[in-house]
Structure 1
Amino acid sequence: MKKIINILTLAAVSVAFTSCDDLFEPAIENNLGLDYMYENPQYAEGVLGNAYTRIPCADFPFSEVATDDAVSNDATNDWRKIASGTWTSNENPSERWRNCRAAIMYLNLFLANADKVNWANDEMASRMFNDREKGEAYGMRAMYMYYLLQAHGGMTADGQLLGVPIVTEPEDASSEFNLPRNTFAECLQAIYDDCDRALELLPTNYKDIKNASEIPSKYQGANVGQYNRVFGANFQLRMSGAIVEAFRSKAALLAASPAFEKSGATMAQAADYAAVVLDRIGGVAGMDPNGWTWYCNNEIDALSAGQLPKEILWRGEVEKSGSNDREADMFPPSLYGKGRINPTQNFVNAFPMANGYPIDNEKSGFNAANPYADRDPRLTAYVVYDGNGAGKDNTAINTTVDDSQNRDGLNNEVGSSTRTGYYMRKLLRQEINLDPSAKTTQKHYNARIRFTEIFLNYAEAANEAWGPTGKGNHSYSAYDIIKALHERAGVGNDYLESIKNDKDKMRELIRNERRIELSFEGFRFWDLRRWKANLTEPAKGISIKTVDGKKTYTTIEVDKRDYKDYMIYGPVPYSEMLKFDELKQNQGW
């Protein structure tokens, strides 16, 4: 069998996540023709790999800075600018048009030529490779269309809900690029069609089999070794059937959300698609009890290549030697960090009391004079507040305004200290030491899709479709999921029980759970828009002073949010509008 077998087995992920320029000398787009890929499968892999390098969920954007959940102390932060009124169609940090459409261009090129590639000398192995690679390409094309709809789908001035131009064939210099936008509904159907194609070709999950009886009937004649080289565990970080199903769930929920409901999508369908993913892990029973601290669990250091923790459906690679870059950006100044992302008082207020009641509920027991006592345990895990510990020695951080020499105090050190009275704790490895004389690192990885997200997708859709305790054709309800999420975090369910028959209050609770569980992972900026929620809530902080030996807590306004109503939809890039007169802009831009 050709060398491609060893290349894919030993370096599949590195190939997939390396640009074509890095993979090949000379670069394919400059010197080599398409004919070269037919007898050079690693070259064909590079065309597909180019699409992998563009994945929008490859890292966390910290777009929460443009919402009511966070601010940044970096005056040059693009998301800080977007929230302050400088968001335009030619100044758009959330723009995905060019990158995602370029990825689709590579995928179309790959799909048009994959059948001509001699993937292996062995006919059966070549066929399996071709199926898998094409399945990945269809799955990624659906994924990129989802991200395009999320960022650029919207309503035009004439009342049309549009998506992007659908292009499924390779393009060259003679192609017609001046294409109108397809409707949002047509783009959604394109996602579903590509998902169907991908699911016909991909295994649900990549795993090593032990017996020939486990080989799908369409590959009868293959042996265990052949099958594992193509569909084995080494490829778990690549597009799989389960990942495709997850993106189908995400697309369905987006389309059924208030901002896009004109597409005709339904919440029942969104719930059904999410359930396909969840049923495979046993539904609520399959929820990872440690999933809410996935970013710092001890399992990280022991993860083998491609291994997936119970909480994770898709992830990036674990850093082999570890790093401390994120901690250097986010730790408080006293721990040698820059304190870049500051959670807001708005976000802190979203955490209920340990008994599950919102802090503004009379049954909560909230004490404004001791605001962090008896709160949801996730508050301590996700936010560094005054007196909360951080760093390898769990040093208590002081964010008061009493001492101007205190580097961690509110606004005490411009560009490094907090602007809200809080620092971020989530996503960080507290074992790291940033002291220049004794720096240490820890391993990290980025979660691209967590099962918690899919549970919350289902809860949101199921509540809208069937009410809090309705189950449709499934064995669990929105209520069941929120109860399980609370129990794993150590939060009481008295409040949940009191609203279990109230669809509107359950909606609020589900959205609040999503806000907490998926915080700082790049969701809220998009969620607020698809919900058509209030975008102009000012970002607030807390000023803590000591008066007569007691701390006083005063809420302060930190940043205004300058959004117009039409900004629930992102714009088509201004440069594209100048080039192509067939494009219609979303209303207001």
Structure 2
Amino acid sequence: MKKILNILTLTVAALAFTSCDDLFEPAIENNLGLDYMYNNAGYAEGVLGNAYTRIPCGSFPFSEVGTDDAVSNDPANNYRKIASGSWTSDSNPTERWRDCRAGITYVNLFLSKADKVHWANDEVAAGMFKDREMGEAYGMRAMFMYYLLQAHGGYDEQGNLLGVPIVTASEDVNSEFNIPRNTFAECMKAIYDDCQKALELLPTNYADISSDAQIPTKYKGASTGQYNRVFGSIFNGRMNGAIVEAFRSKAALLAASPAFQASGAKWEDAANYSAQVLDRIGGVSGMDKNGWTWYSNNKEIDGLANGECPKEVLWRGEKSSNNDLETNNFPPSLYGKGLINPTQNFVNAFPDKNGYPITVSTIYSDTIPYANRDPRLAAYVVFNGGQVGVNNTAINTAADATDTKDNTKLNKDGINHFSGSSTRTGYYLRKLLRQDVNLDPTATSKQMHYTPRIRFTEIFLNYAEAANEAWGPTGNGGHGYSAYDIIAALHNRAGVGNDYLESIKTDKDKMRQLIHNERRIELSFEGFRFWDLRRWNAPLTEKAMGMSINSAKHTYSPVDVETRDYKDYMNYGPIPYTEVLKYDQLQQNKGWELK
């Protein structure tokens, strides 16, 4: 079957690639022929720009609602629906097939023409422009393949571990689109190959240089001005070598994980690729001490120049002034919708202040459950009595909470007090939200926000997980730091004791559990838990729990909130039903055939 692609009609991006905030400004629809690219670098960049607009990590999806970490008070929430049993190959909010495949299509089209584009009148600059643009394209293609494997890699009915079709050539109306999926291992090789090509062409970071001596050997003969014109800080926010290395780390970890280990991937490779990223910042010594509160480091956020990243962040999205997250997630008494409700399951994941799980802690008490806890709990979750907003308003989530002005009426914030606005679990979200936002209609304010696409904390945790599996808790594979060192550093910066860590530092299995739990806490509500559970082959059906508090009796009672209806085959996401219907060579993942 042939698929007709209207690739001659492109939404072309303008040439204003000046920062992360205005990276690509879509221009009007352009019906120029593709050969127009040869003499118009802006048109060529517009083709690559179409790939950039399809980056999957551009916002917070709150996929945690589909896990044991959160529920939503919105019945229409897509992840709430799939967790309750309505996940099908025809109704799949986790689907990345269309955007990532489209991104690869634009990348391939760009690469097929890039050699012939007139990038600049200056021949030296033109050669550097070509290298950088092609390097970005190879890096983007590797990124898209990673996201496709994460969302759609899986086993067919015959027990073959498959990825997606590998397409590296530009396609037109005469191309054959009915092609089978490549193996997962072949797709990983394609990622590594593209990463290598990208790294040969891209600088590690974009930065202005001040002397010709700083120009890389391959570009000797260029002037400082020529180099800065192509590789200077004005291009911060574009794909660079460090970002490519980070995606290689992410892909290697995915492939080595239990769900995909049949591909032949090794934990050592995942650890080594992560270490390459971390060694550039000095390893553990380069960890940002304020990285665990990146979303509320207000002065730092406000002061970020266009495209600039803080120490914690390797790649970020646009910075903009808004109050969207607060509007959706502040408690209703502060004019929020309280949409995302952390679960008791998630609250229980936070250890005591000495790092011991609350199940074995000697200082944790069921009667004062929020005392003597990991400081990250109060930073990430609004629990009963927690203070929120510009006026540090105390939030009462108790089941018997009444209005402060009329005690005959229920307050707005208590558990299940008002359907569609109050918390269903006894908790509200605090992480990601700026407390200096005011939603009062008489004094509404907005503040600057951004979405981190890759945080260094993620790469530290990638390394810890892989290093523990490869070399044990204290082994380092020659990198100068171990899984133990990473977890100790994460605890130290958050003010968590390492007593428990010390007690298990020779136990690989317990260290694995601790690393998984640290990942759950540190990367919470940033879109990781949904995918981590699947790559670990971990149970998906843990019931979401809440906490009902009776303040009059001073009792805390765990309550059932939501059951999780997942089947075993759902560890691997489906190929879109419409694609399988169109192409008989495209095999569906096992279990999804008629769903």
- Superposition TM-score, scaled by structure 1 size: 0.96
1:535 to 518, 540, 563: 540
Report the counterpart of residue 349 of structure 2 in structure 1.
Answer: 350
1:390 CA drift (Å): 0.6
Report the counterpart of residue 323 of structure 1 in structure 2.
Answer: 322
CA–CA distance in structure 2, aligned partners of residues 576 and 347 of structure 1: 37
Report the counterpart of residue 500 of structure 1 in structure 2.
Answer: 505
CA–CA distance in structure 1, aligned partners of residues 23 and 51 of structure 2: 8
The CA deviation string for residues 377-397 of structure 1, in whole angstroms up to 9 with x for no partner, is 000000000001111111110
1:571 to 550, 569, 574: 574
Higher deviation after alignment, 397-406 or 287-296: 397-406
- The one-letter code sitting in structure 2 at the alignment partner of 1:488 is R
Asked if 1:580 corresponds to 2:583, the answer is yes
SS in 2 for 1:221: coil
Report the counterpart of residue 177 of structure 1 in structure 2.
Answer: 177
Q: How does 1:220-299 map to 2 (within 5 A)?
A: 220-297=220-297, 298-299=299-300
1:471 CA drift (Å): 0.6
- The one-letter code sitting in structure 1 at the alignment partner of 2:329 is M
CA–CA distance in structure 1, aligned partners of residues 210 and 196 of structure 2: 28
Report the counterpart of residue 387 of structure 1 in structure 2.
Answer: 385
Conserved in 2, the CA contact under 8 Å of 1:16 and 1:45?
no
- The one-letter code sitting in structure 1 at the alignment partner of 2:335 is Y
CA–CA distance in structure 2, aligned partners of residues 336 and 393 of structure 1: 13
What percent of counterpart residues are identical?
70
1:37 CA drift (Å): 1.1
Asked if 1:553 corresponds to 2:579, the answer is no
The CA deviation string for residues 278-330 of structure 1, in whole angstroms up to 9 with x for no partner, is 000000000000000001102000111121100000001211xx110110000
Asked if 1:67 corresponds to 2:67, the answer is yes
1:8 CA drift (Å): 5.7
The CA deviation string for residues 420-447 of structure 1, in whole angstroms up to 9 with x for no partner, is 0000000000000000010001000000
1:17 CA drift (Å): 3.7
Report the counterpart of residue 374 of structure 1 in structure 2.
Answer: 372
Unmatched tracts of structure 1, length 5 or more: 1-6
Q: How does 1:127-526 map to 2 (within 5 A)?
A: 127-297=127-297, 298-319=299-320, 322-361=321-360, 363-402=361-400, 403=402, 405-526=410-531
CA–CA distance in structure 2, aligned partners of residues 217 and 464 of structure 1: 39
- The one-letter code sitting in structure 2 at the alignment partner of 1:126 is A
- The one-letter code sitting in structure 2 at the alignment partner of 1:79 is Y
- Superposition TM-score, scaled by structure 2 size: 0.95
Conserved in 1, the CA contact under 8 Å of 2:20 and 2:317?
no
- The one-letter code sitting in structure 1 at the alignment partner of 2:556 is Y
Report the counterpart of residue 3 of structure 1 in structure 2.
Answer: none
- The one-letter code sitting in structure 2 at the alignment partner of 1:36 is Y
The CA deviation string for residues 512-569 of structure 1, in whole angstroms up to 9 with x for no partner, is 000000000000000000000010001000000134xx42100001000000011100
Conserved in 1, the CA contact under 8 Å of 2:15 and 2:24?
no
- The one-letter code sitting in structure 2 at the alignment partner of 1:571 is P
1:14 CA drift (Å): 5.6
Report the counterpart of residue 53 of structure 1 in structure 2.
Answer: 53
Conserved in 1, the CA contact under 8 Å of 2:384 and 2:427?
yes
CA–CA distance in structure 2, aligned partners of residues 126 and 263 of structure 1: 41
SS in 2 for 1:443: strand
1:189 CA drift (Å): 0.2
Higher deviation after alignment, 281-290 or 364-373: 364-373
The CA deviation string for residues 100-128 of structure 1, in whole angstroms up to 9 with x for no partner, is 00000000000000111111100011111
CA–CA distance in structure 1, aligned partners of residues 229 and 449 of structure 2: 28
CA gap of 1:421–1:198, structure 2 versus 1, over 3 A, is same
SS in 1 for 2:554: strand
Report the counterpart of residue 34 of structure 1 in structure 2.
Answer: 34
What is the RMSD of the two structures over their aligned residues, measured on CA atoms? 1.1
SS in 2 for 1:316: strand
Report the counterpart of residue 120 of structure 1 in structure 2.
Answer: 120
1:10 CA drift (Å): 6.5
1:187 CA drift (Å): 0.1
CA–CA distance in structure 1, aligned partners of residues 362 and 15 of structure 2: 56
SS in 1 for 2:281: coil
CA–CA distance in structure 1, aligned partners of residues 494 and 585 of structure 2: 51
Conserved in 2, the CA contact under 8 Å of 1:243 and 1:313?
yes
Conserved in 2, the CA contact under 8 Å of 1:15 and 1:49?
no
- The one-letter code sitting in structure 2 at the alignment partner of 1:398 is N
